[in-house]
Amino acid sequence: MKKIYLSKRNKKIYGVCGGIGEAFDIDPVLIRMVFILIAVMTAILPAVIAYLITAWYIIPKKY
pLDDT digits (tens, 9 = 90+) for 22-31: 999 999 999 9
Find out whether 19 and 6 touch, Cβ atoms under 8 Å. yes
Mean of pLDDT values over 36-45 = 90
Residue-range definition of the domain harbouring residue 59: 1-63
Q: Work out how many domains the chain is built from and give that number.
A: 1
The CA-based dihedral angle spanning residues 19, 3, 30, 55, taken in that order and rounded to the nearest 10 degrees: -50
pLDDT digits (tens, 9 = 90+) for 2-14: 889 999 988 888 8
Mean pLDDT value across the chain: 89
Band (pLDDT 50/70/90 cuts) for residue 20 is very high
pTM, two decimals, is: 0.81
